[in-house]
Amino acid sequence: MKNLARALLASALTLALTACGLSPEERMDRAETAFAENRFSVARLDLASVLQENANDTGALALMARTQLQLGDGEGAASTLARLENLGALPEDHAALMAEANLLRENFEAALALGERLQSAEGRRIEALAHIGLADPRAAQAAFEAGLSLPGDKARLQSDYALFMLQAGDADAAQRLATAALRASPTGLDPLLASARIAQARGALPGALGFFQQAARTWPESRGALLGQVGILGDLGRLEEARPLVSDMARRTPGDPEVLYLQARLFAEDGDWTAVRQTLQPIEGRDDARQQLLYSRALVELDLTEQALPRLGALLRRSPANAEVRRMLARAQLATSDGAAAFETIRPLAISARGTSQDVALYRTAARQAGRADQASTAMAQASPAERLATLLAEGDSALREENWRAAIDAYEQLRSWTGNSNAMVLNNLAFAHSRAGNTADAVQIAETALGLAPENASVMDTLGWLLVESGRDRSRGLLLLERAANAAPDNAVIARHLAEAKGG
């Protein structure tokens, strides 16, 4: 919140100038409108102007407390509510407001005491969240369950309970609760974010993106909605759509660790490892595995391997199943001529079904450096290539169904690294994934290779034909390919639609 306050300083000065000449009543009206439109930072600025002229305006103080809660400012809200108490003008729901403020301040004991006094669904929600803060999940679940049968709006309780159940590993229960919350409050921030996170956890990335986008439209200042959008766009490989969102967030909340991480991710995609390191240096001690891995990779890429080794070692001890951490540590160990350590690090991954061709290459290099080439050859001979390829194929096909283009590209590229350009359907699916991710040039080139291998395959002709039409590269040839595909597969609805749209365009 300190970062947000600094970011809003310039806006505050601007609005202060534009507010000149407005009466306190007009400013109050404008604040109420901004609050109703979920533009809470704007509302806070007008309310501050009103209170500067009359510090005891109880209407402005009450709205200020609610605004501060929406902005995550628990300390400010508690202070404002105390002023209202001194004036004898506490709102009817002051106990719920103060309990929420205490949750934000991480004063869980005080929040729990207030929540227990509220005989409503909202009271049980506050009680449950306080129990979570106090590391008592059993009591938290009991409070959530109790709240479901009490009066009052249950959308926020159902949303928080949904995320609790998702964390507990019961995705089906989480989905039921989120659906109920969204039904009760279709535009509520909590139901939208809960639905997005559950869809994300289930691999339904386009659906998750839709929920995050809806939340951002309705709640334009929601950090969770904006961060969620950017994260999903990155996972889908739609980085150009993510860039303006990250830039906007960096302007609004400079220094926010999550935003710095997202900026660094974009620099990494561009191969600018110096920028990655410089961006993450101010928060290099932050306990975030994603950030630590990215920072460590920047150090490796910049030949600062000795600095990366302790970080990567700690990450692997915490997450021994993390393949990316394992291969990055092996790279760093090889760079420092510690082949024996690299051999032991990469071996479990290289001989597993999850191992990539790059992992195998690292394994063989480490084995040679450690004088254990014969051992590596024996282990690789015993590994099942069929199992490895089947795993990759299943991952790629699943990613296509879920429209997770980045994951699909990764899986099919790995298959391609094992099989070369010998499988037309692998290449066809890879071309399709690249096209959906916006990599049109790569998609066309790969689709051409697939067509060379299977010139009469309807799906292959459709992929290339539609690419040529959709991109405008060669409409006449694309139309011809689509006509041939439709003749070869007359019952294929997708091909028929592509042909109809191509003719109509």
Q: What is the CATH number of the domain that holds 311?
A: 1.25.40
pLDDT score, position 494: 86
Q: Most distant CA pair in the chain: distance in Å? A: 85
Distance (Å, rounded) from C-alpha 126 to C-alpha 140?
Answer: 9
Residue that terminates a domain, selected from 365, 382, 399? 382
Residue that terminates a domain, selected from 364, 382, 400? 382
Two tokens, residue 414: 């790995």
| C-alpha dist (Å) from residue 395 to 60, 75, 389, 391, 415 | 55, 47, 10, 6, 10
Residue 57: inside a domain? no
Amino acid at 67: T
Distance (Å, rounded) from C-alpha 427 to C-alpha 415?
Answer: 9
Two tokens, residue 229: 């959008």
Q: pLDDT by residue (tens digit) across 369-391? A: 989 888 777 766 666 667 667 77
Q: Do both 378 and 417 map to the same domain?
A: no
* CA 484 from centre of chain: 41
The DSSP letter of residue 161 is H
Task: Give yes or no for a contact between 419 and 426, defined as CB atoms under 8 angstroms apart.
Answer: yes
Range of the domain at 483: 413-504
pLDDT score, position 381: 65
Distance (Å, rounded) from C-alpha 441 to C-alpha 55?
Answer: 62
Residue 325: inside a domain? yes
Q: pLDDT by residue (tens digit) across 277-334? A: 999 999 999 999 999 999 999 999 999 999 999 999 999 999 998 999 999 999 999 9
pTM attached to this predicted model: 0.70
| Three-class DSSP category at 348 | helix
Residue 178: inside a domain? no
> Residue 211 phi/psi, 5° resolution?
-65, -45
- Report, as ranges of residue numbers, the positions in the chain whose pLDDT lies below 70: 1-21, 379-385, 387-388, 505
Distance (Å, rounded) from C-alpha 200 to C-alpha 407?
Answer: 13
Q: Do both 373 and 417 map to the same domain?
A: no
The DSSP letter of residue 201 is H
CA-CA-CA-CA dihedral for 290, 293, 297, 303, to nearest 10: 140
Q: Do both 421 and 481 map to the same domain?
A: yes
* CA 336 from centre of chain: 34
Domain count, the chain: 2
b (16+ CB within 10 A) / e for 100-112: bbbbbeebbebbb
Distance (Å, rounded) from C-alpha 467 to C-alpha 56?
Answer: 65
pLDDT score, position 151: 86
Residue that terminates a domain, selected from 366, 382, 398? 382
pLDDT score, position 11: 47
Residue 335: inside a domain? yes
Residue 143: inside a domain? no
Task: Give the domain CATH number at 424.
Answer: 1.25.40.10
User: Cα(first)–Cα(last) distance of the chain, in Å?
Assistant: 51
What number of CA atoms fall less than 13 Å from residue 263's CA on the CB side?
22
Distance (Å, rounded) from C-alpha 430 to C-alpha 406?
Answer: 10
Distance (Å, rounded) from C-alpha 87 to C-alpha 321?
Answer: 58
Task: Give yes or no for a contact between 480 and 449, defined as CB atoms under 8 angstroms apart.
Answer: no
pLDDT score, position 136: 96
Two tokens, residue 397: 């096909």
Residue 176: inside a domain? no
Task: Give yes or no for a contact between 243 and 266, defined as CB atoms under 8 angstroms apart.
Answer: yes
Two tokens, residue 351: 């001989």
Placement of tokens 């009469």 in the chain: 456
Neighbour count for residue 385 (Cβ, 10 Å): 11
pLDDT score, position 144: 96
Task: Give yes or no for a contact between 39 and 222, defined as CB atoms under 8 angstroms apart.
Answer: no
Task: Give yes or no for a contact between 78 and 66, defined as CB atoms under 8 angstroms apart.
Answer: no
Listing DSSP states for 409-427 in one string gives HHHHHHHHHHH-TT-HHHH
Distance (Å, rounded) from C-alpha 420 to C-alpha 434?
Answer: 17
Distance (Å, rounded) from C-alpha 245 to C-alpha 209?
Answer: 13
Residue 191: inside a domain? no
Q: Which helix (H) or strand (E) holds 253?
A: none
Smallest CA-to-CA distance from 279 within 306, 300, 258, 305 is with 258
Q: Do both 420 and 375 map to the same domain?
A: no
Angle at 215 between CA 225 and CA 134, to 5 degrees: 55
Residue 130: inside a domain? no
Listing DSSP states for 350-418 in one string gives HTSTT--HHHHHHHHHHHHHHT-HHHHHHHHHHS-HHHHHHHHHHHHHHHHHTT-HHHHHHHHHHHHHH
Task: Give yes or no for a contact between 265 and 234, defined as CB atoms under 8 angstroms apart.
Answer: yes
